[in-house]
Amino acid sequence: MNKLLDKCNLCPRGCKVNRNKGELGFCRAGNKIKIARYSLHMWEEPCISGKKGSGTIFFSNCNLKCIYCQNYYISTLNNGNEYTTNEFADICLELQNRGANNINLVTPTLYIPLIIDGIKKAKKNGLTIPIIYNTSSYENVETIKLLKGIIDVYLPDLKYIDNDISKKYSGIDNYFEIATKAIQEMYNQQPKCVFDKNGIIKKGVIVRHLLLPNMENDSKKILKYLYDKYKDNIYISIMNQYTPIRKLKYKELNKKIDEKIYDDVIDYAWNIGIRNAFTQEDGTQSESFIPNFKND
């Protein structure tokens, strides 16, 4: 049993529930690692997936629960199986043995102390590939500090700059302040992007921004913020793959991103000087790019 789960304060929700005694906080995570799916994933940025794939582990539940969530079946519907830290270590080693370029922890925040324990065990047993921390950025700085020396590559989202929008779509009114502080701590730990001879990232920070319908001005402000603050020391991944997976009460969210608007945002990024960026080609806006959690 991990002591940090006795009064859970791992994320900004600050529920202070005793997860070791079965109490559930906002995220509904218990005191075991819960995983919806793990596999070699080919649809991340090229420097993460490469030719062999990213060893992606999708954790169940979420501390944010955005209304338009692309992984709704695991973030909200609690699908998945529970694993001990030893079993989690074995999963990491299995993915490495299958040829994964890295271990890619998707929405890991709720399980951080257990993941740290599992990664340490896996490293003792031969895990050598980089560990990627793939997060919404709704994180406590103190919790991110626990990951120093464990995480090689941070892959945080920066979703919104306008807190009215974060309130409307994610139910929190201070996302930007919280997320940017967390990203700064990630950058403090990994201030330089390092790639191997095949172009696979070994260390660094890649900030992802997913365009949402009617939000191109917010997107441009986010890109400007990131470039003004970090210049070319980080990479920025500008994503157009937003896909409405169920009918939502906000009509504007029930459509995909217009190709011309995406191109305009990319032009803007180029014009303000951003060069270290990943973009997506047409055709990535397909539901097939969202892993199938319904049947696993």
Q: Comparing C-alpha atoms, which of 33, 36, 32 is closest to residue 294?
A: 36
Rounded to whole angstroms, the Cα distance separating 5 from 114 reads: 10
Which residue lies nearer to ligand SF4 by CB, 112 or 274? 112
Rounded to whole angstroms, the Cα distance separating 243 from 212 reads: 9
Rounded to whole angstroms, the Cα distance separating 205 from 189 reads: 9
Q: Distance between alpha carbon 75 and the CA centroid of its chain, in Å?
A: 12
Only segment of 2-10, 78-86, 250-258, 274-282 that touches ligand SF4 (CB under 6 A): 2-10
Residue 10 near ligand SF4 by CB under 6 A: yes
8 A C-beta contact, residue 38 and residue 55? yes
Please identify which residue in 49, 54, 56, 63 interacts with ligand SF4, judged by CB under 6 A.
Answer: 63
Q: Per the structure block, which two tokens stand in for 22?
A: 């079965």
Residue 25 near ligand SF4 by CB under 6 A: yes
Please write down the HEC assignment for all residues of 28-42: CCCCCEEEEEEEEEC
Which residue lies nearer to ligand SF4 by CB, 15 or 150? 15
Residues 88-127 that bind ligand SF4 (CB under 6 A): 110
* Nearest distance, CB of residue 218 and ligand SF4, angstroms: 25
* Nearest distance, CB of residue 2 and ligand SF4, angstroms: 12
Please identify which residue in 2, 9, 20, 276 interacts with ligand SF4, judged by CB under 6 A.
Answer: 9
* Nearest distance, CB of residue 230 and ligand SF4, angstroms: 27
Q: Comparing C-alpha atoms, which of 74, 134, 103, 80 is closest to residue 290?
A: 74
Residues 72-91 that bind ligand SF4 (CB under 6 A): none
Residues lying near ligand SF4 in the complex (CB under 6 A) are found at: 8-11, 13-15, 17, 25-27, 29, 63, 110
